[in-house]
Amino acid sequence: MFVVVQARACLFTRDCIAGDLFASASLCKRVCACARLCTLVHACAPVFLPMAPARPLVLVHGTCPCVPSHTHALPARDHIYAFDLGQDKGTLYPERVRGLGTPSLGIRGGWGPRDECHNYIRVLVPRDAGTLLACGTNAFSPLCRTYQVSSLAQEGEEVSGQARCPFDAKQSIVALFVDGSLYSATVADFQASDAVIYRSLSPGRPPLRTLKYSSRWLQEPHFVQVLPYGPYVYFFFREVSVELSAMGKVLVARVARVCRNDRGGSPRVLERRWTSFLKVRLQCAVPGDTVFSFDVLEAVTPPRALHGRPAVLALFGTQPNSIPGSAVCAFYLADMERAFEGPFAEPRGAAGTWTPVPEDRVPQPRPGCCAGMGPATGVTSSGDFPDETLSFAKEHPLLHGAVAPAGGRPLFTRTGTRLTRLAVDTGAGPWRNQTVLFLGAEDGRVLKVLMAAQHPSGTPALLLEEISLYDPARCRGPRGASRVLGLELHSPGQELYVAFAGCLVRVPLSRCAQHGACRRSCLAARDPYCPMVSNTPSVPQAPIGRHPGNHGGTQGLGGTHGIGEGAGGGTGGTPRTREGP
């Protein structure tokens, strides 16, 4: 069964958009039947947005009896929507709505088009067990507020959103609380010329940021994900390559890291700036005589266990002016760590060619390491690093080389399609030992892909199913509303939530009804969510990539690496609305 979650259309008066939660509920009830869904979106469906970290869905788990155990909170234009996943209804509606509109600035702002003068909520992250931090563009004047999870009531005073939230809804942002501090990556000015990775709201610690207006540190970045791991916080993004500037405006994928105990440099060098900031390229490419690269980073998962080793999975695309295509690559965290210990890069010669820095020119302690750890064991605080180390770190944030993908090649590739979002289930199947990828596309489709059980360099992945979810008749939104903005797995309910600009769609992971009662069709599909497949381990199965039968077919799917001949489960039409087993 496919469920579309969408706010009902209402007519509004000035009193109905007074601002605070349910401030004019009684009047709203008389004006429209859906008082709890009053929004500043002009009598149309809500406009959801990509949010930190690179997805518009936040699964809030209850920590006390007053908090629902499974709630989806979605940032939107002028509002936060909360959905109770326990509702036993064909169509879900928000249980709580928090108004964050800016009627005083509203449509009278003179900055630009009408749609830009709203409060687009771009940050919605858990601050602690009972509160959320929400930050919005606030008509080009970013603001942040803290809300209680249980009631969405505001707590404390609002603070400036500068460097914590972009000025424009189209600009990227990732944010996350780590050790009580907010780590954010966005732009810090109205012109979007000051890209920043920022730590703030830190009790007892100074705020830190990247160097201002330095193309060596950041050059037109688009931030995708932020993740804590070990003593570091990692930022994943794409940016215009400074080392490939001779080839024009080339986008490359990066991973950067900073130390969690970084307190900035000395008053002479890098004061209130990161001393540990380093970045290195992520390479996702098809090997061969001529390497074909996917350089545009779109999405990154949290760390997962891949063949017994911690890794992240990342979704990449081709350059904007290239043929459309996408790939999924996995990166072992140990390989990333080795890359950060590699040689530094710098431009040399009249042509400015970027080359590795000789090891004898690198000062000690090594720039970019954490105070009190490794080579800097004897350094108490980052402010105590020698000026030589800090100056070198300031001029050499880029490392030479790149992080290679696990197995030396992508896990899955797709031509003719630009994929936008990635979700991973590493516990599929009755023994919870199979991994399934869910990939959202620009045209509203979701691809379900079964990863190989062997090493990434072995058997290719299998496309299990292709589902068309976007329905313009039931999911109104702005131009480009068919683009998948977010994917979220809800494991207890065995459901996948798919966010578009105008609605939230719920789809069960098990869609076995399409195979009917045909056992052969079900087995050929190789779908680990189907009971007939999951409970029949003794039935011989063809290797991934070669399957008997032609049930469902793959006609019209375009070129896809890893699709078997006649792989079952491919559906390119409108989703069925009946329930599957």
Q: pLDDT tens for residues 501-539?
A: 888 888 889 887 776 666 666 666 688 888 655 554 433
Distance CA 563, CA 547 (A): 9
> What pLDDT was estimated at residue 81?
81
When mean pLDDT is compared across 102-116, 185-199, 207-221, 306-320, the lowest value belongs to: 102-116
> What pLDDT was estimated at residue 96?
56
Q: What mean pLDDT comes out for the span 145-157? A: 88
Q: What mean pLDDT comes out for the span 314-319? A: 98
Q: Is 297 helix (H, G, I), strand (E, B) or coil?
A: strand
Measured at the alpha carbon of residue 347, what is the angle toward residues 341 and 353, in degrees to the nearest 5? 110
At 204, the pLDDT band (50, 70, 90 cuts) reads: confident
Taking alpha carbons only, the member of 244, 391, 419 closest to residue 327 is 419
Q: What mean pLDDT comes out for the span 169-178? A: 96
What are the domain boundaries of the chain? Answer: 1-186, 210-416, 420-581
Distance CA 188, CA 517 (A): 58
Residue 191: partners with Cβ closer than 8 Å, 6 or more residues away:
none
When mean pLDDT is compared across 2-16, 18-32, 290-304, 364-378, the lowest value belongs to: 18-32
What proportion of the chain, given as a percentage, has pLDDT over 70?
71
> What pLDDT was estimated at residue 460?
78
Given a contact cutoff of 8 angstroms between Cβ atoms, the answer to whether 522 and 23 are in contact is no
> What pLDDT was estimated at residue 95?
60
The residue among 371 and 110 whose pLDDT is bigger is 371
Write down the mean pLDDT value for the chain. 78
Please determine whether the domains at 1-186 and 210-416 fall in the same fold group of CATH. Answer: yes
Phi-psi region of 204 (alpha: psi -120 to 50; beta: other; left: phi over 0): left
> What pLDDT was estimated at residue 87?
60
At 454, the pLDDT band (50, 70, 90 cuts) reads: low
Q: What mean pLDDT comes out for the span 168-180? A: 95
Separation in Å, CA 64 to CA 58, 68, 147, 150, 245: 18, 8, 16, 9, 54
Whether pTM exceeds 0.75: yes
Given a contact cutoff of 8 angstroms between Cβ atoms, the answer to whether 396 and 346 are in contact is yes
Answer yes or no: is pLDDT of 556 > 60. Answer: no
Separation in Å, CA 265 to CA 185, 211, 214: 20, 12, 17
Q: Is 327 helix (H, G, I), strand (E, B) or coil?
A: strand
> What pLDDT was estimated at residue 572?
38
CATH fold label, 1-186: Methylamine Dehydrogenase; Chain H (2.130.10)
Distance CA 552, CA 521 (A): 9
Backbone angles phi, psi at 462, to 5 degrees: -125, 130
> What pLDDT was estimated at residue 46?
58
Taking alpha carbons only, the member of 281, 335, 284, 280 closest to residue 307 is 335
> What pLDDT was estimated at residue 318?
97
> What pLDDT was estimated at residue 344?
98
> What pLDDT was estimated at residue 117?
82
- The predicted-structure confidence for 233-279, as pLDDT tens digits, reads as follows 999 999 999 999 888 899 999 999 999 999 999 999 999 999 999 99
At 359, the pLDDT band (50, 70, 90 cuts) reads: very high
* CATH superfamily placement of domain 210-416: YVTN repeat-like/Quinoprotein amine dehydrogenase (2.130.10.10)
Residue 427: partners with Cβ closer than 8 Å, 6 or more residues away:
433, 434, 491
- The predicted-structure confidence for 38-79, as pLDDT tens digits, reads as follows 222 222 345 656 544 334 444 443 333 333 446 677 888 888
Answer yes or no: is pLDDT of 574 > 50. Answer: no
269: enclosing H helix or E strand: none
Residue 250: alpha-carbon gap to chain centroid: 22
Given a contact cutoff of 8 angstroms between Cβ atoms, the answer to whether 323 and 415 are in contact is yes
Q: What CA dihedral angle connects 477, 482, 488 and 494, to 10 degrees?
A: 110
Taking alpha carbons only, the member of 2, 28, 166, 184 closest to residue 99 is 28
What one-letter code names the amino acid at 235?
F
Is residue 88 classed exposed, middle or buried when 0-12, 13-18 and 19+ CB atoms within 10 A define those classes? exposed
At 220, the pLDDT band (50, 70, 90 cuts) reads: very high
Burial 47-61 (b: 16+ CB within 10 A, else e): bbbbbbbbbbbbebe
What one-letter code names the amino acid at 305?
A
